[in-house]
Amino acid sequence: MSDHNHDELIPVPDIRLGPKATSVERVSGVIGALGLLLCVAAYFANRQEFFQSYLFAFIYWSGFAIGGIGVLLMGNTVGGIWCVTSRRFLEAKMRTLPIVFLFFLVLLLGLKDIYPWTHPDLVAHSPYLHQRQPYLNVPFFIARIVLYFAIWLFWGMRLYRMSDRQDATGDPTLRERMRAFSAPGLLIFVLTATFAYFDWILSADAQYYSTVYGAMILIGDVLQTFALTILVMVLASRGDRFGGRINYSVLHDLGNLMFAFTIFWTYLTASQLIITWPANLPQELQWYLDRVHGFWKWMAAFVALTMFAIPFLALLSQARKRDPQRLIRVAIWLLVARLVDIFWIVMPTFRDLSPSAPLATSKGFTIYWTDFAAFFGLGGIWIYVYLRQLRRRPLLPLRDPRVSPPMPEVLA
């Protein structure tokens, strides 16, 4: 009979990010720097278009940092080998929160270009904006966001330190303490992230409200976080550097979670549509009308197909979830699809003329060069910071007994 503590005797290897990651880091740093230069040009060329593009890029890239802390808290609360093995990848995402906060500070320069509630004349003429005035005003808006970041960083950094201490001392009580600390954190995180999305995206719409909106965006964040985690884990473990510890069993669990969150995202998104569309209330329906007007309609179809139908069918297969090469193709697919999804959610408020969109810069679907500048600028910098964070520590928790055991059937 095998020994109960058999696996704990095999030391977890101290593996760091390889040289290929260094070149990716450099390239993304350069792309980020060039993108930011273009952003500066865009700021002076067309301020309003620039900030609207910037919001889109900000929502997409901050989604990884917010999803990172969310998945970390969730994984610690519910337990599971997948979370221990992927912990460093999630922690590195969480550690990008300070740079995301810097991105947010830039956004403050453009509040007037994005949010109708910053315009007194619009507020005076809209009963909805007038009602929301006590909540949607600049000082309270800034105070709230600062509070959200403070809460996320407080929880994230304490978990990060506990994780470091576990590497150093191997203290077995830390595992339970991390769990006890994460459970209330998860609760507070879900509430703060929900309101963050009300503040950042929903409030840009002069009419719309939806109770599921925050959860819908947040679950999408979790989905894109799983996709990126799987991608980076598989790439980092190329050539079996982890001695079979990043194996098909862990990938299968992560693949299943990605599958589950694909379904969950679809569930929330479809529910919102099914409830809003037949009710046909002008205040709500305008949000959808903006998003199916002209070319946006094709984008909506594209989102439905790429965020749900294709990944759903792809991830039904057990074999695909166990084959790293095939699994990362689905992950990359989802990362691209989510980009389109965020664009479709955020941008029609600025690129469609309707009572919902008083600050629109075009009458219908348009893509400006500022979209690319903001996306690559923020993205390059974000990836650079993410990889630097990932490089700082061993890629697996060295002393957590639950980290996945090496499997003889190593990755191909």
Partner 1 sequence: MATPENLKVSELPEIPDPGADEILGPGHNYATVTERIGGIVYTPWKRWPGKWWIGAIISFIFVNLLMTAMYVLFFRGIGTWGVNIPIGWGFAIINFVWWIGIGHAGTLISAILFLLRQDWRTSINRFSEAMTLFAVACAGMFPILHLGRPWLAYWLFPYPNSMWLWPQPRSPLEWDVFAVSTYGTVSLVFWYCGLIPDLASMRDMAPHPWQQRIYGILSLGWRGSAIHWHRYQKAYLLLAGLSTPLVLSVHTIVSFDFAISIIPGWHTTIFPPYFVAGAIYSGFAMVLTLIIPLRSWYNMRDLITLRHIDAAAKFMLGTGLIVAYGYSMEAFMSWYSGDPYEKFMYWNRITGPYGFTYVLLILCNIALPQSLWSRRVRHNIGLVWVLSLIVNVGMWLERFVIVVTSLHRDFLPSSWGIYIPTKWDWATYTGTLGFFMLLIFLFVRLLPSISIFEVREVVHHIAHPREVYTEKQL
Residues that bind partner 1 (CB under 8 A): 1-2, 4, 6, 127-132, 135, 183-184, 187, 190-191, 194, 198, 209-215, 252, 267-268, 271-272, 274-276, 278-279, 281, 283
| CB of 54 or CB of 265, closer to partner 1 | 265
| CB of 70 or CB of 214, closer to partner 1 | 214
| CB of 55 or CB of 129, closer to partner 1 | 129
DSSP-derived letter for residue 246 is S
CB of 389 to partner 1, least distance (A): 30
CB of 60 to partner 1, least distance (A): 23
| Residue in the structure block whose two tokens are 């507070």 | 188
CB of 1 to partner 1, least distance (A): 7
Q: Residue 64 contacts by C-beta under 8 Å, 6 or more apart in sequence?
A: 93, 96, 221, 224, 225, 228, 382, 386
| CB of 51 or CB of 259, closer to partner 1 | 259
Q: Which two tokens stand for residue 266?
A: 């679809």
Inter-residue contact 292 to 284 (CB < 8 Å) = no
Rounded to 5°, the CA angle 224-19-102 comes to: 45
CB of 147 to partner 1, least distance (A): 16
Q: Which two tokens stand for residue 386?
A: 């993410």
Residue among 87, 200, 62 nearest 136 (CA): 200
The alpha-helical segments, DSSP class H, found in 280-407 are: 282-291, 296-303, 310-316, 318-322, 324-346, 369-391
CB of 128 to partner 1, least distance (A): 4
CB of 132 to partner 1, least distance (A): 6
Rounded to whole angstroms, what are the CA distances from 84 to 31, 123, 173, 246? 32, 49, 15, 11
CB of 253 to partner 1, least distance (A): 10
Q: Which two tokens stand for residue 115?
A: 């949010």
| CB of 39 or CB of 300, closer to partner 1 | 300
Q: Is the dihedral of CA 411, 7, 88, 214 positive or negative?
A: positive
CB of 348 to partner 1, least distance (A): 18
Inter-residue contact 400 to 176 (CB < 8 Å) = no
| CB of 7 or CB of 361, closer to partner 1 | 7
| CB of 40 or CB of 275, closer to partner 1 | 275
CB of 341 to partner 1, least distance (A): 17
Reduce the DSSP state of residue 91 to 3 states and report it: helix
| CB of 194 or CB of 370, closer to partner 1 | 194
Q: Is the dihedral of CA 306, 349, 96, 193 positive or negative?
A: negative
**Entry field: residues in the chain:** 412
In this structure, which amino acid lies at residue 125? H
Q: Residue 270 contacts by C-beta under 8 Å, 6 or more apart in sequence?
A: none
| CB of 101 or CB of 248, closer to partner 1 | 248
CB of 376 to partner 1, least distance (A): 34
| CB of 32 or CB of 255, closer to partner 1 | 255
CB of 85 to partner 1, least distance (A): 16
First to last CA, the chain: 30
In this structure, which amino acid lies at residue 166? Q
Phi-psi label, residue 325: left if phi above 0, alpha if psi -120 to 50, beta otherwise: alpha
| CB of 195 or CB of 369, closer to partner 1 | 195
Reduce the DSSP state of residue 212 to 3 states and report it: coil
